[in-house]
């Protein structure tokens, strides 16, 4: 329970929420549910994961029902990523066939209007802006434009502040009175830490929130703020912003986020990438070869090419659990890519016979391969040594009927 508590606190879950979670987990873990399990340690982890998912809540879809245009209002502190989130939402909704209109209702932050106009230009989406109008009046005009132009969704990008002040809240209330939104999203920076709960409570007590967008999830933040906000305010998490690109907005998945908060990696996302990149027939053939102990350098080369189709190596390793995921966070992505290219060049410089039977690689052959791949003989020797170590591991797995596989992933 101490390890669970530290993992949750490290993920920026509020300490009061952590206390309640740990108590619920302990009640289940000391009962018959664990006593009857074949592997009590794994059963406890399963309970932790289930309680996290229960606290995070089930996914709630975007509400686009009712009269058109559907109004979506984005609120939050300054620097939380509201303007970028507005562009990402517009991209997502346009992809669903909606006609989207953006509104730059933030006349205070320098270049805020220009930023939204730039995003609108990239998306080919119209942006309503008028610095001479107050935000509530601008929102009302934008709704008129949307109604006359046949737009189905109106997104209001409102102003943020460096702190929760009365002026901000009064302005938000005035906007909502003039243009009642169907969805009111609180945009929260995932790296805000323990303060996330106070921010969410401040907004919830002033305006009716319908959802949460957690931004900057592509950094070191693990998303613990989502648990704090959901458990105390009841506001459902709807979207995660996972990068700077306009398509980097994904619907909330409780299982995936729970795994990330616990530091277990994003195995669901990894599986989805693998399914998109790997050839099923080729994978089945390689599996048969592995089980028969026929793993060769050609198989290794094929696996590397398939893995690179899943994205950059650092992105893939970041999604892995255990020691591999930890190594990815401390490794240099460029160094990893250089190492892969070097390995690929060395294998491609070999003959088919040499790839299938590395035992024939004498000193002369290794010098030739090094020259052909633009590497040193030591690099060739290192690759052959790594390959033999991999073969030994696979032989151990083969003899144990696959029971050694988990050890490969830390």
128 — alpha (psi -120 to 50), left (phi > 0) or beta?
beta
**Across residues 219-233, what is the average pLDDT?**
72
User: Is the backbone peptide bond immediately before 69 cis, with ω within 30 degrees of 0?
Assistant: yes
pLDDT greater than 60 at residue 166: yes
- What pLDDT score does 377 carry? 93
Quick one: pLDDT at residue 410?
39
Confidence of residue 406 (pLDDT cuts 50, 70, 90): very low
pLDDT computed for residue 391 by the predictor: 77
Q: Where are the domains of the chain?
A: 2-56, 70-264, 269-409
Q: What is the 3-state secondary structure (H, E, C) of 36-72?
A: CCCCHHHHHHHHHHHHHHHHHCCCCCCCCCCCCCEEE
Is 65 or 220 the better-scoring residue by pLDDT? Answer: 65
Give which of 24, 54, 58 is closest to 237, Cα–Cα: 58
pTM over 0.75? The answer is: no
Its CATH architecture, for the domain 269-409, is Orthogonal Bundle (1.10)
* Percentage of the chain lying above the pLDDT 90 cut: 25
Distance of alpha carbon 281 from the chain centroid: 29
Q: 252, 239 in Cβ contact below 8 A?
A: yes
Q: Which residue has the tokens 């300054």?
A: 78
Residue 34 predicted with pLDDT over 70 = no
pLDDT given for residue 76 in this prediction: 87
pLDDT in tens, 23-32: 888 888 776 5
Q: Look at residues 240, 231, 223 and name the one whose alpha carbon lies nearest to residue 11.
A: 223
Torsion from C-alpha of 103, 195, 222, 326, nearest 10 degrees: 130
pLDDT digits (tens, 9 = 90+) for 348-404: 999 999 998 888 999 999 999 999 999 999 999 999 998 888 877 777 766 655 544
Average pLDDT over the chain reads: 79
pLDDT tens digit sequence for 296-336: 888 888 777 777 666 666 566 655 554 445 555 556 667 77
Q: What is the pLDDT of residue 151?
A: 93
Which is higher by pLDDT, 200 or 178?
A: 178
Asked whether the beta carbons of 218 and 243 are under 8 A apart, the reply is: yes
Neighbours of 332 (CB within 10 A): 10
d(CA 56, CA 373): 51
Looking at per-residue pLDDT, the higher value among 29 and 127 belongs to 127
Host H or E run for residue 75: strand 70-75
CATH number, domain 70-264, options 3.40.50.300, 1.10.10.10, 3.90.1300.10, 3.30.70.20: 3.40.50.300
pLDDT digits (tens, 9 = 90+) for 241-286: 877 788 888 888 877 777 777 765 554 455 555 555 555 566 666 6
For residues 298-324, b (16+ Cβ closer than 10 Å) or e, as one string?
Answer: ebbbbeeebbbebeebbebbbbbbeeb
Neighbours of 110 (CB within 10 A): 7
On the question of pLDDT at 214 being above 70, the answer is: yes
């Amino acid at each position: 329970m101490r390890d669970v508590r530290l993992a949750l606190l490290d993920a920026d879950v509020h300490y009061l929420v952590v206390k309640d979670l740990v108590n619920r987990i302990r009640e289940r873990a000391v009962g018959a549910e664990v006593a009857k399990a074949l592997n009590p340690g794994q059963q406890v982890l399963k309970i932790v994961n289930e309680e996290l998912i229960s606290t995070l809540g089930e996914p709630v879809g975007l509400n686009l029902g009712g009269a058109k245009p559907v109004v979506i209002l984005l609120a939050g502190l300054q620097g939380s990523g509201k303007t970028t989130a507005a562009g990402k939402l517009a991209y997502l909704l346009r992809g669903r066939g909606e006609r989207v209109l953006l509104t730059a209702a933030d006349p205070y932050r320098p270049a805020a209007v220009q930023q939204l106009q730039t995003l609108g230009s990239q998306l080919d989406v119209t942006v309503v802006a008028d610095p001479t109008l107050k935000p509530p009046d601008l929102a009302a005009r934008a709704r008129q434009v949307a109604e006359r132009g046949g737009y189905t969704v109106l997104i209001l990008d409102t102003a943020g502040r460096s702190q929760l002040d009365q002026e901000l809240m009064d302005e938000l209330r005035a906007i909502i009175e003039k243009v009642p939104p169907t969805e009111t999203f609180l945009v929260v920076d995932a790296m805000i830490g323990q303060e996330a709960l106070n921010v969410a409570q401040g907004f919830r007590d002033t305006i009716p929130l319908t959802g949460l967008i957690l931004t900057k999830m592509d950094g070191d933040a693990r998303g613990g703020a989502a648990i704090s906000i959901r458990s105390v305010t009841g506001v459902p998490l709807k979207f995660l912003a996972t990068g700077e690109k306009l398509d980097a907005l994904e619907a909330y998945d409780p299982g995936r986020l729970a795994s990330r908060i616990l530091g277990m990696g994003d195995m669901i996302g990894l599986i989805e990438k693998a399914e998109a990149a790997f050839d099923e027939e080729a994978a089945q053939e390689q599996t048969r070869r592995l089980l028969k102990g026929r793993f060769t350098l050609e198989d290794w080369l094929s696996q590397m090419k398939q893995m690179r189709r899943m994205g950059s190596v650092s992105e893939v390793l970041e999604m892995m659990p255990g020691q591999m995921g930890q190594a990815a966070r401390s490794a240099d992505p460029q160094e990893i890519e250089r190492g892969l290219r070097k390995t690929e060049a060395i294998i491609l410089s070999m003959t088919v016979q040499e790839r299938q039977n590395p035992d024939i690689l004498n000193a002369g052959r290794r010098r030739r391969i090094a020259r052909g791949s633009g590497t040193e003989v030591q690099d060739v020797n290192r690759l052959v040594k790594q390959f033999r170590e991999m073969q030994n591991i696979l032989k151990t797995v083969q003899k144990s009927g696959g029971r050694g596989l988990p050890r490969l992933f830390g």
